[in-house]
């Protein structure tokens, strides 16, 4: 916990009682008032639905400044990591706090490769799902089931066991994700291959079939690796907070991550790139792009352009600025002008950039707009978009879960409430009700 550097005094205007509350100042960002003594001193709780003004923990992993469009992992700007690093190196950085030396990276990569296979008995889990199961549904179940295969991971106070669980999960997620997809299509599972790097391996498990080898296109591999880097962590969002809260009861980490995946699945969290592509499909089919732009600007219409704007990034989304270039490179390569959906995407991007409504409100395509287009261009089906997000975010979740256990101030999460229900009343027998 950072040093207490100043205080604020809270006075109860009704009773005249007051309490001096410490203010914690972090490295950057908003200072936080420490309200832990508030209830004892004045008898109040704080009220903050959605936790929009609440720092639930202190963390040294990721820093975001939404106004300035800043995202940093362990202090390193996302722009530099996107240009110079790779996803697996970013995993090491998030998990251990420092960039690896060449030897450290080699050891880490070897460990990840060694853990990429699933226990053969886990194959049976996939077969238990309906043939048309959504791959996210399969993933929630299979990741939770890992806790049955690795009960040693429940030793959450043992650092070695925690890091082993992190290695296992980072390693197995591509296999689980690809097998979830293979199962939903009825194709045979493809096993990981150690001579390939992390991202190539995932692409091969997705697209290879027993009758034909798959050579990942280097541009696809680069684009996917970039998507994984950009989605690796985003501090205390809904799914990360879910992992921390679930894990705070000392639950097995695989069960906690399964809860995080469930949270990510919701359309308000991980589903934005899928929604952007569905919207582009609808616009393309209608053939009337301007109608949708007008609807987005109409105050009486609830329609919004999916993949535009961001709750946190109000000037620009730094991840979008990075990924836009790769998206355009990819679309040039596949000759997007002949693909109506991508043509719509580029035209919409262009219209919005020149329209005063969007300019005045700082509305620009966000990372989900471009990642949705890239994944579509790579031939990845819509149902896999959130699965790939979950794969990328696993290291962020595990880093936060591990950080929670290293923080002496961590305790089981237990929010309070403002009760607004009935006052005490006596039980009414059935025959006397409704009279």
265 contributes a contact to ligand ACO by CB under 6 A? no
4 contributes a contact to ligand ACO by CB under 6 A? no
DSSP 232: S
Say if CB 202 and CB 22 are below 8 A apart.
no
- Choose the binding region for ligand ACO from 51-59, 90-98, 219-227, 301-309 (rule: CB under 6 A): 301-309
Write the interaction track for ligand ACO spanning residues 224-263; mark x where CB under 6 A is met and - where it is not: ----------------------------------------
305 contributes a contact to ligand ACO by CB under 6 A? yes
310 contributes a contact to ligand ACO by CB under 6 A? yes
CA dist 52 and 137 (Å) reads 29
Buried b (16+ CB within 10 A) or exposed e, 94-118: bbbeebbeeeeeeebbeebbebbeb
Min CB(311)–ligand ACO separation in Å: 4
Contacts of 383 (CB under 8 A, 6+ apart): 134, 135, 136, 181, 184, 274
368 contributes a contact to ligand ACO by CB under 6 A? yes
Residue number with CB closer to ligand ACO (111 or 284): 284
- 3-class DSSP assignment, residue 120: helix
307 contributes a contact to ligand ACO by CB under 6 A? yes
Name the token pair of 3.
């040093």
280 contributes a contact to ligand ACO by CB under 6 A? no
Distinct helix (H) and strand (E) counts, the chain: 18, 6
Residue number with CB closer to ligand ACO (125 or 389): 389
Residue number with CB closer to ligand ACO (68 or 311): 311
Helix%, strand%, coil% for the chain, nearest 5: 55, 5, 40
Cα distance between the two ends of the chain: 58
- Output the DSSP codes for 164-216: HHHHHHHHHHHHHHHHHHHHHHTPPP----TTS-HHHHHHHHHH-BTTB----
Residue number with CB closer to ligand ACO (28 or 311): 311
Say if CB 315 and CB 69 are below 8 A apart.
yes
Write the interaction track for ligand ACO spanning residues 320-359; mark x where CB under 6 A is met and - where it is not: ----------------------------------------
361 contributes a contact to ligand ACO by CB under 6 A? yes
Residue number with CB closer to ligand ACO (98 or 301): 301
- Angle of helix 340-354 versus helix 272-286 axis, rounded to 10: 100
Say if CB 211 and CB 190 are below 8 A apart.
no
308 contributes a contact to ligand ACO by CB under 6 A? yes
Which of 159, 291, 311, 416 binds ligand ACO (CB under 6 A)? It is 311
Say if CB 253 and CB 398 are below 8 A apart.
yes
Min CB(362)–ligand ACO separation in Å: 8
Residue number with CB closer to ligand ACO (256 or 293): 293
CB nearest ligand ACO: which residue? 309
CA dist 306 and 274 (Å) reads 9
Residue number with CB closer to ligand ACO (305 or 375): 305
Footprint (CB under 6 A) of ligand ACO, residues 143-202 = none
291 contributes a contact to ligand ACO by CB under 6 A? no
109 contributes a contact to ligand ACO by CB under 6 A? no
Q: Binding residues for ligand ACO, per CB under 6 A?
A: 272, 296, 304-311, 361, 363, 366, 368
């Amino acid at each position: 916990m950072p040093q207490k550097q100043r205080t604020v005094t809270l006075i109860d205007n009704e009773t005249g009682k007051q309490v001096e509350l410490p203010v914690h100042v972090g490295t950057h960002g908003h200072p936080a008032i420490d309200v832990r003594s508030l209830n004892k001193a004045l008898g109040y709780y704080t009220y903050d639905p959605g936790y929009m003004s609440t720092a639930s923990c202190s963390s040294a992993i990721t820093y975001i400044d939404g106004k300035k469009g800043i995202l940093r992992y362990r202090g390193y700007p996302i722009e530099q990591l996107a240009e110079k690093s790779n996803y697996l190196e970013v995993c090491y950085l998030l998990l251990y706090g420092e960039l690896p030396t060449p030897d450290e990276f080699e050891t880490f990569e070897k460990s990840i490769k060694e853990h990429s296979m699933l226990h053969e008995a886990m194959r049976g889990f996939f077969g238990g799902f309906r043939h048309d199961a959504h791959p996210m549904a399969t993933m929630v179940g299979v990741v939770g089931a890992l806790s049955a295969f690795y009960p040693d991971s429940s030793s959450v106070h043992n650092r070695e066991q925690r890091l082993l669980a992190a290695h296992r999960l980072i390693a197995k997620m591509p296999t689980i994700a690809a097998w979830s997809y293979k199962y939903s299509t009825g194709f045979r599972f493809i096993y990981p291959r150690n001579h390939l790097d992390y991202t190539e391996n995932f692409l091969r498990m997705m697209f290879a079939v027993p009758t034909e080898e798959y050579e990942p296109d280097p541009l696809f591999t680069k684009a996917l690796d970039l998507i994984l880097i950009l989605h690796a962590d985003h501090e205390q969002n809904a799914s990360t907070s879910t992992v921390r809260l679930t894990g705070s009861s000392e639950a097995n980490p695989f069960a906690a991550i399964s809860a995080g995946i469930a949270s990510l699945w919701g359309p308000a969290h991980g589903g934005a790139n899928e929604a952007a592509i569905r919207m582009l499909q609808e616009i393309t089919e209608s053939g009337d792009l301007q109608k949708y732009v007008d609807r987005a600007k109409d105050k009486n219409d609830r329609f919004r352009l999916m993949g535009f704007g961001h709750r946190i990034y109000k000037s620009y989304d730094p991840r979008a600025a990075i990924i836009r270039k790769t998206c355009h490179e990819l679309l040039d390569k596949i000759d997007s002008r002949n693909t109506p959906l991508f043509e719509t995407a580029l035209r919409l991007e262009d219209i919005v950039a020149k329209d005063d409504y969007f300019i005045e409100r700082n509305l620009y395509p966000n990372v989900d707009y471009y990642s949705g287009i890239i994944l579509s261009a790579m031939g990845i089906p819509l149902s896999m978009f959130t699965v790939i997000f979950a794969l990328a975010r696993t290291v962020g979740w595990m880093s936060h879960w591990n950080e929670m256990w290293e923080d002496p101030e961590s305790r089981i999460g237990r929010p309070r409430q403002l009760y607004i229900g009935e006052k005490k009343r006596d039980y009414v027998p059935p025959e006397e009700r409704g009279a």
